[in-house]
Structure formats: structure tokens, C-alpha cells
Chain A
């Protein structure tokens, strides 16, 4: 079976687990689920309808089956506030979030690679110490606070960037999303820099680098074809592991920067007690994380020939 096929198969129990968790979220709330869901919209009639629709009178297992069934048909429930299907809401807002994720990842890489390079090639020098010290500060910074400061400084005070929204068109997106993407990248960079530096150091000390040097391979070629090519492999793993964090950060950042993505949708839905949407968004987030991890794994496998595609 192909690599992708095998990995997808491994995901089935995870997928099931995820749906179970999402399903149970509603039932963790004390009290009558129907009442909780409907909240202020509750009338005896609507309660009865919901009960029937969601099968709340039946045993938990069959409720779960119902849930799963509707899920597989792409039905994530109906928004209580907007009256439209949760999936349509999510689809509408997904592009903005995806933009943010990709943009942030790119900026994080652009920041991290040169810094890690500087630190690794002049180990224990002044530059190295600085590159290692700064992330320590960064690790302790709340992401929303950083975003907030950047927004205030560059958006409000200096006016270089708009203070909210998604913008229109490709360039518009680039402009509007720069600060939020930068914020997430700053949150991600310390970890990526540390691991890139470590993997570069271990590569630089490796025997095959000495071999390449003994062949007389000049500096730049040595660095790109030999050092970098080997150093990115563990770094991709680290990036993959932290992708969960990256994606989760969108929830916070979208709120600070008023970006119409699914993160903002989640927070709003929480405050509006729009349960079906909360459920739906949580599920979509989990799917995103799983997909991105799969992508990272595939990239890793394609870069490292020691991992074979078909076994």
C-alpha cells in the first residue's frame, strides 16, 4: 500500500476519536442539552423539535451514530444565530484563516533560517548568544499581547498597516495580513530557530561535511547542498509538531486583528452560545491539523531518502 494510503488508514482511529470528543463536548455541560443549546431561544416547542431532530431521547450511542451520519453527509448543524448551515459559515470564512496560516509559516521560515544559520556557523560567538537569548524572551510573550502591540505601533500610531480586516485581492491580502501573520510567526520562530540551529550544528559536525570539505567543495555549495539539505529535515518535523500551535494561534490573532476567519467565528460563536457552530469549527480545526501534519510527513519522506515511500 502506498505511503499516503497507509498514513490515511492510521488516521481513521484518530478521526473517530476526534468526532467522539467533539460530540461529547455538548454533553459535558451540566443540565439538559437541548436547553443549553437553545439557550434564550428555548421554547417548549423548539425544545421538542430539537430533541426529536438530534434524537436526544435515545441512548448516547445512537445519538453518536446520528451525529456521525450527518457529519459524513457534510452536515455540521445549523447556526442558532444566523440560521444558516454551520458548514456554509465555515466555508465562507476558511480562506482568510488559510491565508493567515500559510503566510505566517512562510514568514517564520524566512526569519528562522538565516538566524539559525548565523547562530550555527559561529557557535558560541556573540551572534550565537544573541540568537539564542532573544527567543527566550519571545517564548514568554503572550501572542495576543504581541499582536496588540504591533497593531498599535504599526497600525494605529504609524499607520503603515490597516488595523483590521482581510483586504481584497492578492496584494490587499498581503498588506492586511502582514501584521497578524508576523505576530504568529514571532510566536513560532523561537522554537523553529532553536531546532534549526541544533540540527544545523549536528550536521556541521557530521563526518560527511568533512568529506565534502576534503573534496574541496567551496563554501556556498557546501552550505546549500550539504548542510542545509540535511538540516531542514528535522526542522520540518519540528515545524509539523508546532503546526498545531500555529493553527491554534489563529483563534487568538483573528480576534485581535478582526480577521474574518474561522478563529474569529469560533470566539464569536462561543460568546453567542452558538453550539453547533462551535462544534463544527472545532472539528474543522482538528481536520486542518491532521491534514497539515500529513503534508509535513509527506514532505519529510520525500526529502529523506532513508524513509521509503512504499514499504
Chain B
């Protein structure tokens, strides 16, 4: 048992999640490992189907019934969560770890008033009475910036706008003062201006309370805005990780390079956005060797054979590309050109 207070907040080791489907066994998460330091915000980036949402759900233990963790460890402050039963996990969910979802309309119980939904966590976990829980909920509503909380307490979710509902979700996630919050694309479903507000709110909360974040998104600029570390996922695997600025500025994996190139970037206006050709790999029967090789411009013989392991690079970085120097070359060439 590690001494509390030291070591990473969250440590995921070689996590495998499989989903039973009509087409066969889907390897949604295939050997993913990462760490989140205390008070840090880690962004997980990838396209739809890369396994990032499944990773989050596996961490919290709220996988859909067809999915299960087949191997790996998820250590929250040293304690492995994978072997725990649902009843034990319920004690962790809320007070120690919580989650924010993508679609606030469907993520809130439509027949329950908003206030009690926020108060439910403290009510269940902290053993306080309903009145005190309600007070706490009002407090939280003010904290996340919901105007006129006394009146809104008794409102239903459908009476709120998208941005407000997301604030409610954040309030719910904060309610029991968890140590880490998992965010599953919380701003994807919102308008751009609202997105910005929510992101600032999250980043601010992270700073003030020292809560750790795991922030899943497909949106690179968002990661840059909120997180200190980033991990890139492709085809159910982690392909690159490291400090945000460095990874985005100097990617060391062709996929990350492709992502960066295809993202609109108003600082360095390029002539054209370059999409990544091809389509995502089948998770039922992924390609041999490196999963990205069918779409990779730098692919060589060994890429078709070996499934590259995650290799550590200096500066707290890691990459799963056998020929990651090619990225450096490509970037230099690009920047040298007028």
C-alpha cells in the first residue's frame, strides 16, 4: 500500500477492454497505459472509435453491459479498481472520482429536478440530511456560474440551455469533492462561445481546487487550452504522449502529425488543411504490425510486422512509432519552406 499523497493520482497499466458485438470481439482498448499526476490535467485525443471514451468508462467502471475489462490495472492513488465489486466502486464514485459526459441533455434525468440531482451525491455519500445537501447543491450552482440558483434549483433539465446543463453536470461532478474528474468530450455538443466558457470554468476549477482532470476530446485546440499533458490514441492504442505544447508543436508520431496538420490553426495559416487519407482500423481484426501503417506516409518494412511498443523519449515524452525521427524531418522541411 503506497503512502497517500505521493505517487500519481491515477495510474492505468496495460488496460484491455473488449466489447462483444455481432461482428465479433471488438478490442476497443488494447493495452493502454498512462499516468495522471496530482493536480494535473491530462488530455486524451483521438478520433471517434479510437477507444478514448471506453478508456474513461473502464476507469470509472461504468462500461456498457457488452463491454468488459479483460486485463490491466487502474490504480487510483495506489488502489487497483479493476477487481472491485460494483458496491465497492459505488463508494469511490462521487467522493473520489467522478465523470462529466458529452450530452448534457441525455445525461441528466429528465423527470428529476436539477437541484436534487446535484444534491444526490452528497446525500448518498456524505450522510448529511436533505436540507444540508440542498444547501451544498446551491453552493455548487453558484460556484459553476448558474444564475439565480434558488429559483433554478427546482427546475427540470429541459428548462435549461445546453451550456447551463453542462454547468449542472460539472456541479454534479464536483459535489462530493473528488480527487479526479473524468471528462468525456464535455464541450463537443456545445456552441463555440459556450465551449469557451465551460473550458475556462473547468481550467479554473482545476487550478483552484487542485483536482486532477482526464479530458477526452477530438479537438486539439481544446486540449491546448486546458491540459498540461496529452496522450494520443489510435485504434484502441496509445500512440504518443507528453507535455501538450511539445507534442502539438513537435509531434513524434505520424498520426499526431496528421492531426496537427489537419487542424485549422490561425497562428500559422497554411495553404490547405491536409486530411489523413484512408479510414480508421477495424477493431475486430486490426492490421498486422503497427495499426497506423496502412495510412502512414513513412511506413517501412518493419512497420508491417512489429506492433510498436510505447518508447520513452527524453522530456517526459513517449511514442509508439518505430521511425519517429521522420516526423522531425518532415516538420523541419515544412518550416524551412517559404
Contact = CB atoms under 8 A, between A and B. Distances in A.
A217 B124 contact: yes
A185 B108 CA distance: 35
Given A216-B121, A216-B124, A305-B158, A211 B90 contact: no
Contact of A214 (B62, B91, B106): B62
B317 interface: no
A210 B60 CA distance: 10
B109 A230 contact: yes
A29 to B, nearest CB: 51
A40 to B, nearest CB: 60
Interface string A13-57: 000000000000000000000000000000000000000000000
Contacts of B94: 214-216
Given A214-B62, A215-B94, A305-B158, A208 B172 contact: no
Interface in A106-146: 123
Given A211-B172, A305-B156, A306-B156, A216 B95 contact: yes
A225 B93 contact: no
B107 A208 contact: yes
Interface string B29-50: 0000000000000000000000
Contacts of B121: 215-216
A215 B62 contact: no
A73 to B, nearest CB: 44
Q: In the complex, which of the residues A226, A233, A304, A305 has the most CB atoms of chain B within 10 Å of its own CB atom?
A: A305
A226 B124 contact: no
Nearest to B65: A123
A153 to B, nearest CB: 41
B110 A215 contact: no
Contact of A218 (B101, B106, B124, B175): B124
A218 B92 CA distance: 11
A217 B62 CA distance: 12
A123 B64 CA distance: 13
Contact of A304 (B57, B89, B111, B125): B111
Interface string B56-73: 010010101100000000
A226 B101 CA distance: 17
Interface residues of B, number: 35
A221 interface: yes
Contacts of B112: 225-226, 229
A213 B62 contact: yes
Contacts of A216: 89-95, 121, 124-125, 176
B120 A208 contact: no
A206 B111 CA distance: 13
A303 B90 contact: no
Contacts of B172: 211, 215
A218 B88 CA distance: 10
Interface in B73-94: 86-87, 89-94
B124 A221 contact: yes
A233 B109 CA distance: 13
A206 B106 CA distance: 7
Interface residues of A, number: 25
Interface string B152-192: 00001010000000000100100110000000000000000
Given A215-B121, A230-B111, A306 B158 contact: yes
Contacts of A206: 106
Nearest to A227: B109
Contacts of B103: 207
Nearest to B105: A207
B98 interface: yes
A218 B121 CA distance: 11
A303 B111 CA distance: 7
B28 interface: no
A303 to B, nearest CB: 7
Contacts of A207: 101, 103, 106-107
B99 to A, nearest CB: 4
A212 interface: yes
A211 B173 CA distance: 9
Contacts of B99: 211, 214
Given A206-B106, A207-B101, A214 B111 contact: no
Contact of A211 (B86, B95, B107, B125): B107
B95 A305 contact: no
A168 B108 CA distance: 50
Contacts of A205: 64
Contacts of A123: 65
B152 to A, nearest CB: 14
A289 to B, nearest CB: 27
A119 to B, nearest CB: 14
Nearest to A304: B111
B63 to A, nearest CB: 10
B82 to A, nearest CB: 17
The 3 A-B residue pairs with the shortest CB-CB distance in the complex, in nearest-first order: A216-B93, A216-B94, A207-B106
29 contacts: A205-B64, A206-B106, A207-B103, A208-B107, A208-B108, A208-B109, A211-B107, A211-B109, A212-B109, A213-B62, A213-B90, A214-B60, A214-B93, A215-B120, A215-B124, A216-B89, A216-B90, A216-B93, A216-B121, A216-B176, A217-B120, A217-B124, A218-B124, A226-B109, A230-B111, A304-B110, A305-B111, A305-B158, A306-B156
Interface of B: 57, 60, 62, 64-65, 86-87, 89-95, 98-99, 101, 103, 106-112, 120-121, 124-125, 156, 158, 169, 172, 175-176
